[in-house]
Amino acid sequence: MSLHKRPCHLRESDHKYVYEPTGEQMTISVTGVTSHGKPPVDYSKFPEAAPRGTHVHRLMEALATGEALPNPVSPEGIDCSSWYEQLSQNTFFDQIEVLGCEYTMVHRRKSLGGQLDLLCVFKDKCLLVDLKTKSKSWKAPSQEDIYSYKAQAGGYLYLITDGDDAGGGQMVDQCRTLIVTPTQTKWLPPMDPDDCFFAWEECWEKYSASLTTAACPF
């Protein structure tokens, strides 16, 4: 059974999560929390990376939901054909029941927003799936990457069960990360939802502590 749509959306112009009944804008996103305190990525060195990632996510959504596939060339003119080819060959999307795709959630008390890539049932297991696009040179995730993936999944798990208008949420059996490059797709090992939640709690505590310190530095 699909998750019900929650009354919120991600405003693409400034990447802000908005709670529609009140117009409230969330202060931070799940990825903002998990990356808090880290040096920001200098996308000027990789100008194609962000639009390519966004466009390959559009393909994933189309594959999961059965919609028409988008043009392999992004609106910015970035050719994503090789990533499209790799992802389209993955038969996983033909074998799932979609519960939520690009599913947006907020927690107003925490002023937190997030959008999970895919929640689905596969072989009687409920999976939370996060898609990552990488370049041809990608070989394997670092330990820091894996921790970040766990924490990000944990943030989505938190919003699924405790976000505004959750309505009971959904039990998740595994959290998975799917890497797509122009030459391969690779599933990283399953992550236990409890481990993901604990990693998220650690990140949230560090983020919250930094706000307290900034407000009262003495």
The model's pLDDT over 54-107, given as tens digits with 9 standing for 90+, comes to: 999 999 999 999 999 999 999 999 999 999 999 999 999 999 999 999 999 999
Per-residue pLDDT, averaged over 123-141, amounts to: 96
For residue 43, the model assigns a pLDDT of 63
Per-residue pLDDT, averaged over 141-167, amounts to: 96
> Does the pLDDT value for residue 214 go beyond 90?
no
Nearest CA among 82, 81, 83, 183 for reference residue 136: 183
Per-residue pLDDT, averaged over 16-39, amounts to: 94
> Does the pLDDT value for residue 216 go beyond 70?
no
Residue 182's pLDDT band (cuts 50, 70, 90): very high
How many whole angstroms separate alpha carbon 115 and alpha carbon 127?
Answer: 15
Per-residue pLDDT, averaged over 30-42, amounts to: 84
> Does the pLDDT value for residue 39 go beyond 80?
no
Residue 42's pLDDT band (cuts 50, 70, 90): low
Structure tokens at 149: 């993936």
pLDDT above 90 covers what percent of the chain? 86
Query: pTM for the full model?
Result: 0.93
Q: Is 89 exposed, middle or buried (0-12, 13-18, 19+ CB in 10 A)?
A: exposed
How many whole angstroms separate alpha carbon 30 and alpha carbon 11?
Answer: 15
> Does the pLDDT value for residue 108 go beyond 60?
yes
For residue 213, the model assigns a pLDDT of 61
pLDDT above 70 covers what percent of the chain? 94
Judge whether 199 and 147 are in contact, CB under 8 Å. yes
